Structure 1
Amino acid sequence: MFYIIAHAEETGKMERSNVTFVVEFILLGFPDLPNIQRLLFGIFLVIYMSILIGNGLLIFITTTNPVLQTPMYFFLGNFSFLEICYTSVIIPKMLADLWTQKKTISFLACAVQTCFFFTLGVAECLLLAVMAYDRYVAICKPLYYPIIMNRRVCVQLVIASWITGIPVLIGLTYQIFSLNFCGPNKLNHIFCDAPPLLGVACGDTYQKELSVHISALLFVMIPFLLILTSYVRIITTILKLPSTSGKSKAFSTCSSHLMVVGLFYGSGSIVYLRPKSSNSGNSDKIFSLIYTTVTPVFNPMIYSLRNKDVIDALRKLLPK
């Protein structure tokens, strides 16, 4: 049953109220592709297994291989773990919907999914900024690198990335789900997210939309500007290097991170920072798939194929 009908008692008589409250949502997913739901299930199952295996391998080698016990690989291992958590909030539910065709999610489960999605997404933005800062210190201040990026600082930066946004994002989730959902309960999306939820809420949602945009600017654009600033200084320093091989090695260590940043920030910014449009539902789903599935599945490939140390570690591991 999708709605609970509220009753009001006035002057000793029970009168039916016209107010209705949504107790569960329907995630439409891919309604334009009804005949290939099982095929989509297979595709996303392969993608999810690839994310688990690829990022799991990166976590294993960065924690066990002595050559990779440096801040850069410490952050990479944490980023891979974050990718696994991030996608696990979304893909298992999507797989269940594709297989069973039930596609319903309770109001509480939707709120929990949204809160975890926000929290882990912000943690990823902040960790990407931390990784850019690490590269900045390594290339621009190499003599001070062991002092600045010591083990204690690295652990503190990772913890800060995970917990900084939690209070604000819990408050944002509460704001969204405190809205009145009294009309349609169908979300034209693959998971519970702010844009589709605000689209089906009753009444004026301007203040809540403003809160979402402010949060996106705070936790998405500020880390992005820090990343941009770091790489401007990195590129300036690299261009001053006299050795061509030195320039090539420096660019190689940074290009992998820049590719991941471009995929994640590009798709995420389009969804959360562009003006609201009535025709944005399908495009939002496509861009959401990029930063929830494409980036996590390509993350291990990008860092492995462009990193000699990671390739050597994998060569030692795989024959065993």
Structure 2
Amino acid sequence: MCEDNATSVNEIFLQGFKNLYNYKIVFFLFVLLIFIAILVGNLLIIVSVSVSQQLRRPMYFFLKNLAIADVLLTSNVLPALLHVILWGGGHISLTGCILQYYLHTFLLIAQLYILTVMSYDRYLAICYPLHYAAIINTKNCLYFVSVSWIFSCFLISSELIVIVQMEFCGSNVVDHFFCDIDEILQISTSYNFILLWEDLVVALLSIFFPFLLIVASYICIFFTIFKISSMSGRKKAFSTCSSHLLVVCVYYGMLIAIYIVPSGKNAQNDNKLKSLIYIVLTPLINPIVYSLRNREMIESIKTLMYKYVQAEKCWRV
């Protein structure tokens, strides 16, 4: 319970980007266009992989799940950000704030686990091609993806149990555009030692441990590629994992920039900018990389668009 002179917080005010209020229309349109591009690009991947026979392979199945996580992640934050930009701030209930943090972290962890599964898929395809079909079958693909989603939910749920028991008193103003763990701790008056330790454990299991697995996979992949005698064979082997490697570099590069690289003098604005770049860049880079660098994906999307145009013509007739 809050003390007599403290007010219980039931609603939170998100200040957003105060320095950009003079350019809010331009900023609003920019974020809106990025949001539309993310939705269109990732939904094209999801639909193409779901309906195309030539894309019914493990790599594309994992890619579809990554695209689903990207769509949900941006849909959890960007609509609220658009409201904050347009109105110079926005109110969100305390329950909504905690739920937004839960979904954001859950989907972020799911992204990292799916990327880890994809690296294991590339490792088997290049290092053990004869065993690939036996290990990466339909049953195991479903198992790997299900474990990624379920374990991500389990990890962040351990934090949620602690957060819902915390007290929130005093100021309800948060200098950010969405609810992250630092913002929740900022408005809480409860002793948060347990939550800090839980957050550290979650970070180790969801960021550091998957990163080690991905690095180990690519070390083995590079050693295998270097053993290939012909240059054309090396290029072909590397091309099968280059798109995934680029996406991994973007995802983890942004996480390192947000959580490890120290901020400048204006730390809060730096953190908001880094968070925004991660939320819009990582879901945007995924469809760009896999669409522009993958001939099968391009052909599948063209076929899908052609069928859509033909169906439109039939309906008009």
Structure-2-length-normalised TM-score: 0.90
- Deviation string 1:64-90 (CA, Å, 9 cap, x unpaired) is 222211100111111111111111111
Query: How is 1:1-20 mapped onto 2 (pairs within 5 angstroms)?
Result: 17-20=4-7
**Structure 1, 244-253 or 75-84: larger mean CA deviation:** 244-253
User: Which residue is 1:10 aligned to?
Assistant: none
User: Which residue is 1:21 aligned to?
Assistant: 8
User: Which residue is 2:155 aligned to?
Assistant: 168
| Native 8 Å contact 2:15 2:88 kept in 1 | no
Distance in 2 between residues matched to 1:171 and 1:76, nearest whole Å: 28
Distance in 1 between residues matched to 2:154 and 2:179, nearest whole Å: 19
Distance in 2 between residues matched to 1:281 and 1:196, nearest whole Å: 11
Match of 1:55 among 24, 38, 42: 42
Matched letter for residue 295 of structure 1: T
Query: How is 1:14-163 mapped onto 2 (pairs within 5 angstroms)?
Result: 17-163=4-150
Shift of 1:253: 2.1
Matched letter for residue 25 of structure 1: I
Query: Within the alignment, does 1:237 sit opposite 2:238 as a pair?
Result: no
Distance in 2 between residues matched to 1:98 and 1:62, nearest whole Å: 35
User: Which residue is 2:204 aligned to?
Assistant: 217
Matched letter for residue 132 of structure 2: Y
Summarize the Cα distance change of 1:208–1:271 in structure 2 as closer, same or farther, 3 Å threshold. Answer: farther
Shift of 1:201: 2.9
Summarize the Cα distance change of 1:44–1:208 in structure 2 as closer, same or farther, 3 Å threshold. Answer: same
Shift of 1:203: 5.7
Distance in 1 between residues matched to 2:133 and 2:293, nearest whole Å: 24
**C-alpha RMSD of the superposition:** 2.2
Report SS of the residue matched to 2:223.
helix
Structure-1-length-normalised TM-score: 0.89
**Normalized per residue, which structure has more helix?**
2
1 or 2 for the larger relative contact order (CA 8 Å, sep ≥6)?
2
Shift of 1:136: 0.4
Distance in 2 between residues matched to 1:277 and 1:212, nearest whole Å: 24
**Normalized per residue, which structure has more strand?**
1
**Structure 1, 87-96 or 129-138: larger mean CA deviation:** 87-96
Q: Which runs of 5+ in 1 are unaligned?
A: 8-16
Shift of 1:266: 2.1
- Deviation string 1:121-175 (CA, Å, 9 cap, x unpaired) is 1111100000000000111110111100000000111111111022331221332
Query: Within the alignment, does 1:182 sit opposite 2:169 as a pair?
Result: yes
Matched letter for residue 118 of structure 2: M
Distance in 2 between residues matched to 1:277 and 1:163, nearest whole Å: 37
Matched letter for residue 53 of structure 1: V
Question: How many residues are paired up?
Answer: 307
Matched letter for residue 138 of structure 1: A
